């Protein structure tokens, strides 16, 4: 399929109550190893690794008021791909809707609705405050992570 969501079983999920970060890392490594073993698949793949929430850990990062749900703590996102910028750390404001924006951009799809987060503009960041979008509310589309 063009897009797949892979959810690890609970013992490998990285959730603090019943898993470890090391277990999640092993799960991801197995997935990446399988993708890289098939050059036809790997040559056009982007594996986006993220978590569903912050795991209860404290986060001092800026949180936008995006909609009536608000936004939560930051969660990690790692892009693994032949197109990913190696060793790159991006401070653009992203959230889970960023994955959807990336899919919509890549396959030239329309947004889900006028009110959905995937319809928000990409953030305009400034040198004075690289963590807070000047045009908030705004959510990035992950394109900064890649060299296409």
Q: What is the model's pLDDT at position 54?
A: 73
Length of the chain counted residue by residue:
148
Distance, CA of 139 to CA of 102 (rounded, Å): 11
Distance, CA of 90 to CA of 76 (rounded, Å): 11
pLDDT classification of 101: cutoffs 50, 70, 90? very high
Strand (E) or helix (H) holding 23: helix 21-36
Residue 146, SS3 per DSSP: strand
The model's pLDDT over 41-86, given as tens digits with 9 standing for 90+, comes to 999 999 999 988 877 667 778 888 887 777 877 888 999 999 999 9
Residues whose CB falls within 8 Å of the CB of residue 16, separated by 6 or more in sequence, listed in order: 55, 56
Domain map of the chain by residue range? 62-74+88-148
Q: What is the model's pLDDT at position 70?
A: 74
Q: What is the model's pLDDT at position 56?
A: 67
Q: Are the C-beta atoms of 120 and 139 separated by less than 8 Å?
A: yes
- Report, as an integer, the average pLDDT of 89-107: 93
> In 3D, which of 138, 148, 55, 131 has the Cα closest to residue 95?
138
Distance, CA of 94 to CA of 120 (rounded, Å): 11
Q: What is the model's pLDDT at position 63?
A: 83
Q: E strands, the chain, where? A: 47-50, 77-80
pTM for the full model?
0.88
């Amino acid at each position: 399929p063009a897009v797949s969501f892979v959810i690890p079983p609970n013992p490998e999920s990285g959730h603090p109550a019943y898993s470890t970060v090391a277990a999640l890392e092993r799960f991801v490594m197995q997935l990446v190893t399988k993708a890289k073993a098939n050059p036809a698949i790997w040559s056009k793949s982007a594996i986006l690794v993220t978590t569903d929430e912050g795991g209860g850990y404290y986060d001092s990062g800026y949180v936008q008021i995006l909609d009536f749900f608000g936004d939560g703590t930051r969660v990690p996102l790692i892009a693994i791909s032949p197109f990913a910028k190696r060793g790159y750390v991006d401070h653009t404001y992203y959230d889970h809707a960023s994955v959807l924006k990336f899919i919509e951009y890549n396959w030239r799809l329309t947004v889900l609705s006028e009110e959905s987060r995937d319809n928000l503009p990409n953030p305009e960041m400034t040198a004075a405050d690289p963590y807070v979008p000047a045009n908030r509310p705004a959510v990035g589309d992950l394109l900064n992570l890649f060299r296409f």
